[in-house]
Homo-oligomer: A and B are copies of this chain.
Amino acid sequence: MSAAILAIGTEITRGEIVNTNASWLADTLVGLGLEVTAMEAIPDDKAQIVATLRRLSTEHQLILCTGGLGPTTDDMTSECVATLLGVPLVRDAASLEAIRERMARFGRTMATSNEKQADFPQGAQVLENRKGTAPGFGVSIGKARAFFMPGVPREMKTMFTESVSPELSPLVTDAIVQIRVKTFGMPESSVNDRLSGVESEHDVALAYRAHFPEIEVKVVARGADRTATEKRARAAADAVIERLGPDVVYGEGAITFPEAIGELLQAAGLRLGTAESCTGGLVAEVITERGGASAFFDGAIVSYANHVKTSRLGVSKELLAAHGAVSAETARAMAQGALDALGVDVAVATTGIAGPTGGSSEKPVGLVHFAVADHKGVSDRQMRFPGSREQVRKLSAFAVLALLRNVLRNGHDA
């Protein structure tokens, strides 16, 4: 089984938008046990669309195509498929009505240009679009099965999940079990090294997916018997967790690193605040990225200017003068000051040089001090992060949360 993913749209080949549909579909297909051996993107050009589909249908058994189903003259996927198959376009009354209804619901009247969205190559299997006006369709091109979906990611994902994915199960005979192990704090090459041998030992495949700065290790087991496959996946995931250790592995499944820390805080009945300099609000931002943070997070003081460190966090002018704003002492004082200022049980603080300018030989760009304080004590760390300003800030936010996780699990440094 070899699958191809094709995106149709000049906005992609001109680089105006990034083709995230392709990676989402590939990742999802791999999860279903299918292999993607080609990803292509081509402009809105009739001859090229027909020729590309013809070629792909001789090389692959499955083609997933996105884009070109809209109402404008640029959108010509249905027409091209009809040409390729040598069949006429036929208007589907049910789809026409669904488009009309959907537009009416949003207070719009259907334009003539929308009508063509209900035209499909004769004999096509129509796929409902619950999130937009353009329905999709499925056809056979020679020995290949091809599905055509809208280019809007939200519409495509819903259509794939609800209408295309069920059609693919006959293509896969094996049971597929996936377990996602979430990690932070170890570079991908080291994760890779540590896990060498797990694949052959447990007869699974490991895939790595970086959501910077997190790395997800996906354990994929495949076999005829579901129960045995689940058991194998579980054993392999346990081996992954054991080899990487609890300081690196923070959870399984869809959970994010900040969410995992939120769970620890809630379990301990502790409320969190942040005091931020170089991260400029990013620590608070990642903590509140997913809903539900109000259960453990009270607020933040971003003390970008030194006078705010003094007035709002009680960092003394003497301490700032003696050690500088970027120092372990300032990070500790900021975290301690935030406990009172925000009325919280535990506080984290960051201060550093995110760059691209402002570094010196003594305090280079990328140097960040961070601290965690509660009513039992304070712990601090310093790191020198590589990369751009954006990377330094993101790594700083995650590193201070990693220190918090360490304090919550193991207490303060002795």
Contact = CB atoms under 8 A, between A and B. Distances in A.
Interface of A: 7, 11-20, 22-30, 36-43, 45, 48, 207-210, 271, 274, 276, 279-285, 287-294, 297-305, 307-308, 311-312, 341-343, 354-358, 389-390
A304 B294 contact: yes
Contact of A302 (B22, B210, B302, B311): B302
A307 B298 contact: yes
Given A18-B22, A36-B43, 19 more contacts: A14-B27, A15-B23, A15-B25, A15-B26, A15-B28, A15-B36, A19-B23, A37-B43, A38-B42, A39-B42, A276-B281, A288-B304, A289-B389, A291-B358, A291-B389, A298-B307, A300-B300, A301-B302, A301-B312
A298 B308 contact: yes
A165 to B, nearest CB: 15
A299 B301 contact: yes
Copies per assembly: 2
A223 to B, nearest CB: 20
A51 to B, nearest CB: 10
Contacts of A48: 37
- The winner among A15, A207, A284 for most chain B CB atoms within 10 A is A15
A38 B41 contact: yes
Main secondary structure of the interface of A (DSSP, over half): mixed
Given A37-B48, A41-B39, A311-B343, A288 B280 contact: yes
A23 B301 CA distance: 38
Contact of A356 (B17, B291, B293, B312): B291
Nearest to A283: B281
- The winner among A26, A48, A355 for most chain B CB atoms within 10 A is A26
A193 to B, nearest CB: 12
Given A300-B300, A312-B342, A209 B39 contact: no
21 contacts: A11-B208, A13-B37, A14-B36, A14-B207, A15-B22, A15-B25, A18-B20, A38-B41, A39-B41, A279-B285, A280-B288, A281-B284, A291-B355, A294-B305, A297-B304, A299-B302, A299-B303, A300-B300, A300-B302, A301-B301, A311-B343
Contacts of A390: 289
A279 B14 CA distance: 33
Nearest to A218: B16
Contacts of A279: 285
B312 A300 contact: no
